[in-house]
């Protein structure tokens, strides 16, 4: 599966160079008005690094993981161009086998990548007061892209149910949902799609 993911994503990023162009970070991440001095972030499936760059610009030390070397090279180049090399550490990683170091991170970001098992494994990586940010596509009749793989689409309310029913124990039941929303994706995306976002703080 991961060998397949690696080939699929390297091909996608190589053939569609627009996917490697700088893009704005999620508006929901921006709304959090994060201050990252002396803090550590983990960007899982970072792709071309829009959240890695944004978090580094806010002062975080960012660990950015992805299975596509094409995407990671693009992140390295942008990071260097923006003088943020000291703030960013990219790493070629298969997230199918990944578990983070325990209680190391102030924020963990997973966006446009759906793997609920990864979310369950990653929750241990958060420090107290740390934030878990997850945002990705969901199933909806209004979606313009009709051939999306249903395995990669959330069902209505799924992230809220996942965090309250399955991840809560990972936080010893001490957590708060900072925000939850179901919304239309950004206008620059190729297809109009519904998305879901959740931000959970470990208390």
Ligand X SMILES: C[S@@+](CC[C@H](N)C(=O)[O-])C[C@H]1O[C@@H](n2cnc3c(N)ncnc32)[C@H](O)[C@@H]1O
Nearest distance in Å: CB 57, ligand X: 15
**Structure tokens given for 175:** 């957590």
Nearer to ligand X, 71 or 171 (CB): 71
189 binds ligand X (CB under 6 A): no
Would you say how long the chain is, in residues?
203
Q: Are 155 and 140 in contact (CB under 8 A)?
A: no
Q: Are 70 and 14 in contact (CB under 8 A)?
A: yes
**15-54 footprint of ligand X as x/- string (CB under 6 A):** ------------------------------xxx--x----
5 binds ligand X (CB under 6 A): yes
Contacts of residue 104, Cβ cutoff 8 Å, sequence gap at least 6: 40, 42, 125, 127
96 binds ligand X (CB under 6 A): yes
**53-92 footprint of ligand X as x/- string (CB under 6 A):** -------------xxx--x---------------------
* Distances from the Cα of 173 to the Cα of 49, 79, 118, 120, 132, angstroms: 32, 37, 19, 14, 14
Q: Write out the residues near ligand X by the rule CB under 6 A.
A: 2, 5, 9, 45-47, 50, 66-68, 71, 93-96, 111-113
């Amino acid at each position: 599966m991961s060998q397949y993911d690696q080939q699929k994503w390297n091909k996608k990023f190589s053939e569609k160079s627009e996917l490697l162009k700088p893009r704005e970070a999620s508006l929901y991440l921006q709304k959090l008005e994060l201050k990252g001095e002396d803090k550590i972030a983990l960007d899982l499936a970072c792709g071309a690094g829009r959240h890695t760059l944004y978090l580094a610009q806010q002062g975080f030390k960012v660990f950015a993981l992805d299975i596509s070397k094409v995407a990671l090279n693009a992140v390295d180049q942008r990071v260097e161009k923006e003088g943020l090399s000291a703030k960013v550490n990219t790493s070629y990683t298969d997230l199918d086998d990944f578990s983070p170091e325990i209680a190391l991170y102030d924020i963990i970001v997973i966006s446009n990548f759906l793997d609920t098992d990864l979310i369950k494994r990653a929750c241990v990586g958060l420090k107290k007061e740390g934030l878990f940010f997850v945002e990705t596509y969901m199933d909806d009749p209004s979606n313009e892209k009709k051939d999306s793989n249903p395995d990669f689409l959330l069902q209505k309310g799924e992230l809220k149910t996942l965090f309250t029913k399955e991840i809560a124990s990972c936080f010893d039941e001490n957590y708060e949902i900072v925000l939850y929303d179901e919304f239309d994706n950004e206008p620059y995306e190729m297809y109009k799609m519904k998305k879901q976002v959740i931000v959970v703080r470990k208390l």
